[in-house]
Structure 1
Amino acid sequence: MEQEGAGTEQPARRSRKAGRRARKSNGNGRDAAGSSPRLRDVLFKDLRPTDLPSNFRQDLKRLYRFYLDEERRTQLAAMGRVRRTFKLLGWLLKSLLAKLSPGRRLALFASLVMCFLGQVHLNLPDGDKLETDLRFWGFLILLLVLMLELMEKVAARDEIEIARQVQLALLPRTHPQPGGWSLWSFMQPANDVGADLVDYIELPGGRLGVVLGDVAGKGLGAALLTAKLQATLRALSLDCPSLSDLGAQLNSILHRDGIDNRFATMFYCEIDTATGRLRFLNAGHNPPFVLRASAIETLEASAIPLGMMAGTIYKEGDLLLQPGDALVVYSDGLTEARNAADEEFGAERLRALLPRLRGLTAEHAVGLLIDQVTAFLGGERPHDDLSLVVLARPGGAAGPIPPPFVIPAARPA
């Protein structure tokens, strides 16, 4: 009995000590009274020291691309090292100031001047001398500008998170698998919200619509236009007599209601699961690949992207997928993915991978391609939304296959 009592007393003491520790800290640097987290906990929260070098390099690349346009980057590449350094600093500073509001622009410039002047000596009218270190005041002004910018960013983040949740709700929750077909897709936004569209549309007569679209630009504005394109396509595709008419109506609506320099590329196809025939519309999108038993074909765009020019004529294409064939549709975020050496993944690298997809289901084919892109990036963050759709018709070797052809659209009278 004594041994049993002694044995239970030690765990009891340990339990009381654990309770005091738990009350002292609730696991994220706050004590039970709800006081502020310790500075050490704030500084080192979610910190992975091994990731710091790669994260720092990626942040520098993102800053470089954000503050300098393609023309500036091309000019810098042609300069010598010394001249390039001074030009880079000057252009970065001007671009930074241009992106701030007028008040903060002046405040930041004043803080930089103060930091440059440092300690100053002023002769007062009564003969006294005033010495002050302007770097301290410059630092305070710089901190104030940073706090204001961070405040707006955090406030905008909440709105973007809501938009992200709405966008996720609009994505397909399942991948339809019609009898004799295999279908899978992948979509990875480069930012919190994406501008790529991947959707499946159930149509009358047992047909299935599949779309991959890419709206120009990034951020919340592009995401809203993507949602508009999705809603418009879903409404029009149910009873449109031809895909030529569908393209014309989509183009008219996006051109009428769109914003300058905002357009959308789109590849849309409708599958007749019984016959294996597809009718498709390529509005300025990257040419999808058709993987045959012994060949690889491409489906070129029939016209410019949607919303660019009123009255554009689009053409409907027709395609037959035999057992063993596959259709691979992708966004430019896949082929334009860049690694640390600033090399593009490229359409040719994608094409070279396609023979490895023969005999795979669409899910495994998508997984293989995404794994290859991820390995190519080597930890680099994609700078554009990355989307992929694979439609496969599993089966044996294909026989003679008619080539895809395009049905000319009827010109308006």
Structure 2
Amino acid sequence: MRRTDRAIVESWRERLERVRPHAIDAGLAVVVAAAVVIAMSVSGYSGPDTRPPDALAYALGATIGALVLARRRWPVGVLVASVAALQVYHFAGYPGISAAVPLAAALYTAAAAGRLRWALGVAAVYLVGLLLYAVLWSPGPPGPILDELVRDGSLLAAVLLFGDAVRSHRALMTEAAERLRRAEEDRKREAQERSAARVIQEQLLPKELPSLPGWRVAAYYGPAREVGGDFYDFLELPDGKVAIFTGDVADKGIPAALVMATTHSILRGDLPGLVSPGAVLGRANDRLYPDIPPHMFVTCLCAVLDSVSGRMVYANAGHNLPYVATADGVAELRAVGMPLGAMPGMAYEENEAYLAPGDAVLFHSDGLVEAHDPSGEMFGFPRLRKLVGNSGGGEQLIDECLAELKRFVGGDWKQEDDITLVALQRDRSE
């Protein structure tokens, strides 16, 4: 079902839920009014002190029906008015219907509106009155009145149980509706928070790639959710140097985005003063460790490239090893170091590489190599290494990686992790 169709169905369901209690009330009022009128009209009782049914029967039926409709606001008033109407009915000499029928309607209204004690009290008064009349004041044998007592008592007990069940059901429905309302409010609030986090994260990513004479620079960032934990950035330094860092927070969603933003700010703040990638990672680790959430850490690779000479100094805090494609083949750029925030006081090995004209390097997070196809096979490092070796580098390399990923996982793939790719290639003309 499409989202719009689901929304329409939910809208109509909410409307029906609001209408249904009123429809039940209206139906009950009509039934009670009709029962009063029919019972009085078809009464076969006649005697010297009785009067035939006339307008009073219809007035009583309409009164009881109106009282049923009014039960939500005035449940106690319904009881009082119903009992008063019955007394008027009997004193006026209009027999032919058991007093328990309209009284049952009144008791139901009270019980269904949550006034069960009032309903029980009125029922007890009615039944005790019948019992006392049968025992003390009945001129004839008490048997018929006792039979009426049992009959009316059973009817009233059933009505009270039904009314209380209706009250419980409505209470549960109200509670469920309130829970749904709160859940919907929470969902909307979380969506707004994710949207705000996404905007903040996008603001942290570089708006433009650095313009390095003699170099082709390309980057790609694809979060698995609205917000992710991957990041990359470039920071231009004096003397034609540029700092490059890529990272991956070991989590997803808003917590990962917050840690990512903190790490990003630390790295950008320390790089200009320290320049040394190993020192930058060491400082970032010590600043993150005291405040990073439990079981969370950040893998990060930091490199400083001299765009004039092609010399690149790098350090690695547990991040995926970059691949460099040279005339001699594809190699990994290795450097030892623990992820940021995992342990205090860590030192980070610093190595260097020389990128000759035509060489290309790819920095990547694990979202690409750990993607799985429908059979469960992983994309893997060997496949990525082969792509790096056969590609022209730069933006072409990123396009080829994404095309191969799409072919590998198929059309129904659900992205499992954030994907970040940063590619550099030195022009052959240099």
> Where on the TM-score scale, by shorter chain, does this alignment land: which range?
0.5 to 0.7
Residue 246 (str. 1) matches residue 276 (str. 2): no
Residue 181 (str. 1) matches residue 215 (str. 2): yes
Partner Cα distance (2:311, 2:271) in 1 = 17
Aligned counterpart, 1:367? 399
Residue 383 (str. 1) matches residue 416 (str. 2): yes
Residue 203 (str. 1) matches residue 258 (str. 2): no
Larger mean Cα displacement after TM superposition, 252-261 or 336-345: 336-345
Larger mean Cα displacement after TM superposition, 211-220 or 173-182: 173-182
1:114-153 alignment runs, 5 A limit: 128-129=157-158, 130=161, 144-153=178-187
Aligned counterpart, 1:314? 348
Aligned counterpart, 1:217? 251
Partner Cα distance (2:409, 2:170) in 1 = 43
SS at match of 1:256: coil
Partner Cα distance (1:243, 1:324) in 2 = 25
Aligned counterpart, 1:346? 380
Aligned counterpart, 1:191? 225
Partner Cα distance (1:139, 1:372) in 2 = 52
Using the size of structure 1 for normalisation, the TM-score is 0.62
Q: Which runs of 5+ in 1 are unaligned?
A: 1-38, 45-123, 399-413
Is the 1:361–1:394 contact (alpha carbons within 8 Å) kept by the matching residues of 2? no
Question: CA distance change for structure 1 residues 384 and 167 in 2, over 3 Å: closer, same or farther?
Answer: same
Is the 1:214–1:331 contact (alpha carbons within 8 Å) kept by the matching residues of 2? yes
Is the 1:265–1:283 contact (alpha carbons within 8 Å) kept by the matching residues of 2? yes
Partner Cα distance (1:312, 1:162) in 2 = 34
Please give the root-mean-square deviation of Cα atoms over the aligned residues, in Å: 2.8
1:220-299 alignment runs, 5 A limit: 220-240=254-274, 242-299=276-333
SS at match of 1:371: helix
Q: CA deviation at 1:141?
A: 5.8
Is the 2:387–2:397 contact (alpha carbons within 8 Å) kept by the matching residues of 1? no
Aligned counterpart, 1:411? none
Residue identity in the other structure for 1:175: L
Higher relative contact order (CA 8 A, sep 6+): 1
Q: CA deviation at 1:376?
A: 2.0
Question: Quick one: percent identity of the two aligned structures?
Answer: 32
Q: CA deviation at 1:305?
A: 0.3
1:26-175 alignment runs, 5 A limit: 42-43=7-8, 128-129=157-158, 130=161, 144-175=178-209
Is the 2:360–2:393 contact (alpha carbons within 8 Å) kept by the matching residues of 1? no
Report how many residues are paired. 279
Aligned counterpart, 1:90? none
Partner Cα distance (1:214, 1:194) in 2 = 9
Q: Flag as ranges the 4+ runs of structure 1 deviating above 3 A.
A: 39-44, 124-147
Partner Cα distance (1:365, 1:135) in 2 = 63
Partner Cα distance (2:352, 2:244) in 1 = 14
Question: CA distance change for structure 1 residues 291 and 153 in 2, over 3 Å: closer, same or farther?
Answer: same
Residue 394 (str. 1) matches residue 427 (str. 2): yes
Is the 2:335–2:351 contact (alpha carbons within 8 Å) kept by the matching residues of 1? no
Partner Cα distance (2:340, 2:305) in 1 = 22
Aligned counterpart, 2:12? none
Aligned counterpart, 1:330? 364
Residue identity in the other structure for 2:242: L
SS at match of 2:239: helix
Partner Cα distance (2:284, 2:271) in 1 = 10
Q: CA deviation at 1:341?
A: 2.7
Larger mean Cα displacement after TM superposition, 211-220 or 135-144: 135-144
Residue identity in the other structure for 1:192: E
Question: CA distance change for structure 1 residues 209 and 150 in 2, over 3 Å: closer, same or farther?
Answer: same
Structure with the largest fraction of helix: 2
Residue identity in the other structure for 1:227: A
